[in-house]
Structure 1
Amino acid sequence: MRNILLTSVLLLTASASAAKLQVYPYDGAKLLPGQRFDLRIEAEEVKGFKDAAVTLDGQPVQGLVRTTSKDTSVEWTLRGQSLGTGLHELAVKYGDENGEVTRVARWYVVPAVAGKARNVILFIADGMGWNTVNAAQLVAHPYNPANGTQTGKLAMMSDLRSMASVTTSSYDSALADSANTASSIATGQKIQVNALNVYPDNTADALDNPRAETITAMLRRSMGKGVGIVSSAFGTDATPAAFATYTRRRGEYQAIADQYFKGDVQPDVLLIGGSRDFIPSTAPGSRRKDNTDWITDSQKLGYQFVSTRTELNAATGSKLFGLFNIDNVPSYLDRAQYKGPETLKDFTDMPYLWDSTKKAVETLEKNPNGFFLMVEAGMVDKYEHPLDWQRGVWDVLELDRAVAYAKDYAKSHPDTLVLVTADHAHSLSVYGGYDATKGPGKREAVGVYEKAGFPTYGDQRDANGFPLPETQRTYAVGFAATPDYCETYLGRKEFLDPTVSNGKAGAEAGFVPNPKICAEGAVQRVGNLDPGSAQGVHTADPLPLFAFGAGAENFFGMMDQTDIFFGLARAMGLNATQKK
């Protein structure tokens, strides 16, 4: 321990309620040896508080800082703590007008082991459940119509060393969002919905919550490894932020942007979408509230800045910062096939995910201690929410090309682990075939079983060799969790939200099917979500995990999402008790 076992007994004069006592880390939390965390104890509904004692493994705890966030609460905090291997028990004994109460939290610190992986390339496809992977496989490698056999496999599904199915949950919900699920991968902890790498607390400040240290921060300080973050989403979005920042509210975009350059990770490579949180408030499109300009200031910190695919591919710096849009990077289909000016606007030279992955690896491998790279296909989720399965699935195909590069890299660098997984699932399902020659929105064009036939994807391909979504026979794909919307069965070159506001205010406000989509020829579907829902939502469905290379044997069977963190630590032999 760093000082949590020093002797002292807390005798405190305030007031508390026996019924409202919380301890963080929570009871049952697992940690790595040396992983830093903030201890937080909160007593709510205080009434005539008499005294309290806090012990860890039977020894009094010293150094707790007492605060009173409101008249009816008392809190104690001790930041930056860590523990050695084994089972640890924190006991809080306190008394008030209601009597004496003891609260116990047991923490499990799992032993570190020698690892094989010097480098890790972790791919996270936001929203990519098993069914989304299956849809991408069916599109990329259609069955042979002569005999129904497979014609190929996605790179992420080929030559597997190990495979797992991953379950998700939040600290406060059975269903999850990207912030808490990515944080579980980053810290090994169960985290609240919308929180990044922090435990709950009873204050309004979203930036003062007790923290759990991320794997990237530990690798940086204890092993001196390089860290890279790549995402096709806007850069302060939940998944990239989970590997470098801490906040109770994922929407603290300005603070997240600042933590990238001021926090405990400070990635060497940051290649992301939206620039609006990194440019001063006076710049068009900015949502900052100050004049900070991270494009300029990052270069003072030694970063080479790039804003186009051309600049990215030519970059040679040892630290790299890239912003490729004012917001999210549009879908692969929009960048490579449709190229609509209303979508691309001024951003006509954006990289593909495989470009960013390759350049990130080339930059990070300059570090003699190895590297950890997280690559997010962030737009899969952002198109599944509005039920645009084609854009979402083609973004999985784009990711798969990046995975193919990473697997080739691992073959020539056998000390590299490549991991492909997701943060949460969506309710997408391939349930039939569709005869596109009959036009949009024809239920009679949906075929099932032998009437489904074989889709004809791949009869036309783009410059990158990807199939075009427009073909005579496609798949009928639907979603289980939806608002009311109009189903056309076919994609469109112009992205459209599935719903629009009903124009009402107050309790009657809600959403109705988008009339532009309905006018194309469509079947109106009655949704199963609240009328106030504009889009589809995440599901509790399990996630795929595919592992290749050094340390792949740490990932198999049924895994909880927090297990990914510990598998990564074992694969890399992470010893967070040391300092590089």
Structure 2
Amino acid sequence: MKRILMTALLLSASASAAKLQVYPYDGAQFVPGQHFDLRVEAEDVRDFKDAVITLNGQAVTGLVKTTTKDTSVEWTVRAQSLGVGTHTLSVTFTDAGGPVTKIAKWTVAATRPEGFQSLFYKPKARNVILFIADGLGWNTVNAAKLVAYPYNPANGTPTGKLAMETGLSSMATVTTSSFDSALADSANTASSIATGQKIQVNALNVYPDNTADTLDNPRVETITAMLKRSMGKSVGLVSSAFGTDATPAAFASYTRRRGDYQAIADQYFNGDVKPDVLLIGGSRDFIPSTSPGSRRKDTTDWIDGSQKLGYQFVSTRTELNAATGSKLFGLFNIDNIPSYLDRAQYKGKETLGDFTDMPFLWDSTKKAVETLDKNPNGFFLMVEAGMVDKYEHPLDWQRAVWDVLELDKAVAWAKEYAKTHPDTLILVTADHAHSLSVYGGYDATKGPGKREAVGTYEKAGFPTYGDQRDANGFPVPETSRTYAVGFAATPDYCETYLGRPQFLDPTVSNGKTGAEAGFVPNPKICGEGAVQRVGNLDPASAQGVHTADPLPLFAFGPGAENFSGVIDQTEIFFGIARAMGLDARTNK
């Protein structure tokens, strides 16, 4: 008997059941009519026998069966959509290991009244302007306010607030996570805002699959695609980062790998969104491989190609401000648009190169709105202050904070626009946070890198920002008393406490290869007079990283009541959909 039991256990172990994955994932939520690709994957398959796939008790039609490898079977059907209600997908799979069942339940919530009440319904918001400051946690907002509006040294009272903080209709704290991690990157977080789904790190608007091809993953439709398809609205994307970067790409492209820059650039013009306004950096992804600086692998020229599609092309601030086209495509740098400080105050040749006439974020916002507003159906505009994140990573808090001030001036312009266009909802939020924190004051008269110049509590005093201002009214960072600002997640680096006219990375390669490769503090910074900091990240880390800290969301105008309290990032998508009355079951 004992031998029989042992044999049975061995046979059972050898005949283990196949592993099933279903996408969309269990618990996914959609708006009515939102397109998604359904995919079922069976792995560790032995002698496949049968599969029954039903949705709400009915067999799913149109499924395409594939076998990516000898031990897998997959079924895919593209561009599905559902009506309001709860929907159940059931998969029963049988092979030599026996039957396996997987259930996924999806919810589609109404975004506007159904039935008779729909006859009297009018959406609250005709337009949406969504500002996303990449890396803008609550502490970064606060640091920007402390610089822009120093406390009154006579009594410690505030002297002002940022435009994003005043005249609020509502506000919320936003939590973030990704499909496969509690920590998030810009691709999946921006995708959550764009689709209402949890997405993998480094992926844009797609679910996982078991193929190597990064462009064939099952997709979920973006809010921008739906607004165009079902409501006839115009779409605009503005970013100070290179234009194929994660945040702008999340509103117009689909890929498992955010680094598919060439494919992302192509999807702007031949994808399902085709933004009417695209004002960005990063011309290297839009010019042919034969052009200096290009990183394309082909000879596609989207500067020429866009004009054949009816876009007016602009490449400078002067050209942008003079533009009158109904569709605009702007490229203002070969790569990222440098920081506000570099464009407006430092103006170093080593940073700006030949790009001496780049727009400010408020210029691009104003021209984008003026262009999109020609559509009587309304518009959706996403404006990204992309360089906040790109300067927080290398611990350059001054450049990051002044870019927040640049964004805030664009927000102020949008709020003025909304006064004469009261059907416009304005949102200001972020995709993820960084670990920036203001922890003291710094006596800059003592020079860089002096720990004894850091004051805390009453010894911090009152910084003197605003004693000098630039042509746009922004304070200059060089003043006698500044803030001591640090980061919680860092590599080893040297701290000077002060900014510098020329950007420097905090670390450099240690010159080693293989397992010993890593980074050490940048000797140029250490040589300025600095305190050497021992970091808390792996020595292979060159910069700081994102955090799981919550994000701000400031809301102005019609539909702002959809954003309050503590919300998950995916709820931003549904809040916008409700404000605009988005129901994508029909095409415009």
Smaller-chain TM-score bracket: over 0.9
**SS in structure 2 of the partner of residue 39 of structure 1:** strand
Q: Is the 8 A contact 1:20 1:44 kept in 2?
A: yes
**Whole-angstrom distance in 2 between the partners of 1:340 and 1:149:** 36
Q: Is the 8 A contact 2:18 2:97 kept in 1?
A: no
The equivalences for 1:164-563 within 5 A come to 164-563=172-571
How many residue pairs are counted as aligned between the two chains?
A: 565
Cα deviations by residue, 1:301-355 (Å, 9 ceiling, x for unpaired): 0000000000000000000000000000000000000000000000000000000
**SS in structure 2 of the partner of residue 325 of structure 1:** coil
- Residue 54 (structure 1) aligned with residue 62 (structure 2): no
Q: Is the 8 A contact 2:18 2:95 kept in 1?
A: no
Percent of aligned pairs sharing the same letter: 84
**Whole-angstrom distance in 1 between the partners of 2:111 and 2:426:** 20
- The residue identity in structure 2 corresponding to 1:286 is S
- The residue identity in structure 2 corresponding to 1:375 is V
Q: Post-superposition shift, 1:18?
A: 3.0
Q: Where does structure 2 lack aligned partners over 5 or more consecutive residues?
A: 1-14, 113-120
Q: Work out which of the residue numbers 159, 162, 173 in structure 1 matches 2:170.
A: 162
1:105 corresponds in structure 2 to: 104
Q: Post-superposition shift, 1:132?
A: 0.3
Q: Is the 8 A contact 1:17 1:47 kept in 2?
A: no
- The residue identity in structure 2 corresponding to 1:314 is A
Q: Post-superposition shift, 1:49?
A: 1.5
- The residue identity in structure 2 corresponding to 1:103 is K
- The residue identity in structure 2 corresponding to 1:36 is H
Q: Post-superposition shift, 1:19?
A: 4.3
**SS in structure 1 of the partner of residue 284 of structure 2:** coil
**Whole-angstrom distance in 1 between the partners of 2:154 and 2:378:** 48
Q: Post-superposition shift, 1:269?
A: 0.1
Q: Post-superposition shift, 1:82?
A: 0.1
**Whole-angstrom distance in 2 between the partners of 1:449 and 1:56:** 62
- The residue identity in structure 1 corresponding to 2:96 is E
Q: Post-superposition shift, 1:100?
A: 1.0
- The residue identity in structure 2 corresponding to 1:557 is G
**SS in structure 2 of the partner of residue 232 of structure 1:** strand
The equivalences for 1:39-50 within 5 A come to 39-50=38-49
Q: Work out which of the residue numbers 136, 140, 150 in structure 2 matches 1:142.
A: 150
Q: Is the 8 A contact 1:66 1:76 kept in 2?
A: yes
**Whole-angstrom distance in 2 between the partners of 1:298 and 1:60:** 44
**SS in structure 2 of the partner of residue 450 of structure 1:** helix
Cα deviations by residue, 1:196-251 (Å, 9 ceiling, x for unpaired): 00000000000000000000000000000000000000000000000000000000
Q: Post-superposition shift, 1:50?
A: 1.3
**Whole-angstrom distance in 2 between the partners of 1:563 and 1:82:** 19
1:23 corresponds in structure 2 to: 22
Cα deviations by residue, 1:156-189 (Å, 9 ceiling, x for unpaired): 0001110000000000000000000000000000
**SS in structure 1 of the partner of residue 267 of structure 2:** helix
**Whole-angstrom distance in 2 between the partners of 1:409 and 1:117:** 14
Cα deviations by residue, 1:66-122 (Å, 9 ceiling, x for unpaired): 001111111000000000000000000011122111100000111121530000000
**Whole-angstrom distance in 2 between the partners of 1:215 and 1:411:** 25
Q: Post-superposition shift, 1:575?
A: 1.1
- The residue identity in structure 2 corresponding to 1:207 is L
2:10 corresponds in structure 1 to: none
**Whole-angstrom distance in 1 between the partners of 2:55 and 2:230:** 25
**SS in structure 1 of the partner of residue 263 of structure 2:** helix
Cα deviations by residue, 1:398-448 (Å, 9 ceiling, x for unpaired): 000000000111111000000000000000000000000000000000000
**Whole-angstrom distance in 1 between the partners of 2:403 and 2:426:** 19
2:9 corresponds in structure 1 to: none
**Whole-angstrom distance in 1 between the partners of 2:372 and 2:62:** 39
**Whole-angstrom distance in 2 between the partners of 1:144 and 1:19:** 68
- Residue 35 (structure 1) aligned with residue 37 (structure 2): no
- Residue 130 (structure 1) aligned with residue 138 (structure 2): yes
**SS in structure 1 of the partner of residue 366 of structure 2:** helix
Q: Post-superposition shift, 1:17?
A: 6.6
**Whole-angstrom distance in 2 between the partners of 1:89 and 1:107:** 6
2:81 corresponds in structure 1 to: 82
Structure 1 window deviating more from structure 2 (96-105 vs 193-202): it is 96-105
**SS in structure 1 of the partner of residue 88 of structure 2:** strand
- Residue 69 (structure 1) aligned with residue 68 (structure 2): yes
**SS in structure 2 of the partner of residue 357 of structure 1:** helix
**Whole-angstrom distance in 2 between the partners of 1:110 and 1:120:** 20
- The residue identity in structure 1 corresponding to 2:396 is D
**Whole-angstrom distance in 1 between the partners of 2:493 and 2:93:** 55
**Whole-angstrom distance in 2 between the partners of 1:408 and 1:119:** 14
Q: Post-superposition shift, 1:526?
A: 0.3
**SS in structure 1 of the partner of residue 206 of structure 2:** coil
Q: Is the 8 A contact 1:415 1:549 kept in 2?
A: yes
Q: Is the 8 A contact 2:18 2:45 kept in 1?
A: no
**Whole-angstrom distance in 2 between the partners of 1:18 and 1:562:** 34
**Whole-angstrom distance in 1 between the partners of 2:428 and 2:18:** 43
1:13 corresponds in structure 2 to: none
**SS in structure 2 of the partner of residue 62 of structure 1:** coil
Cα deviations by residue, 1:278-307 (Å, 9 ceiling, x for unpaired): 000000000000000000010000000000
**Whole-angstrom distance in 1 between the partners of 2:512 and 2:59:** 59
**Whole-angstrom distance in 2 between the partners of 1:456 and 1:294:** 47
Q: Where does structure 1 lack aligned partners over 5 or more consecutive residues?
A: 1-15
**Whole-angstrom distance in 2 between the partners of 1:294 and 1:55:** 44
Q: Is the 8 A contact 1:411 1:549 kept in 2?
A: no
2:585 corresponds in structure 1 to: 577
Q: Is the 8 A contact 1:17 1:44 kept in 2?
A: no
**SS in structure 1 of the partner of residue 425 of structure 2:** strand
1:6 corresponds in structure 2 to: none
Cα deviations by residue, 1:259-293 (Å, 9 ceiling, x for unpaired): 00000000000000110000000000000000000
**SS in structure 1 of the partner of residue 190 of structure 2:** helix
**SS in structure 1 of the partner of residue 439 of structure 2:** strand
Q: Post-superposition shift, 1:20?
A: 1.6
**Whole-angstrom distance in 2 between the partners of 1:231 and 1:563:** 23
**TM-score calculated relative to the size of structure 2:** 0.96
- The residue identity in structure 2 corresponding to 1:154 is L
**Whole-angstrom distance in 2 between the partners of 1:220 and 1:449:** 53
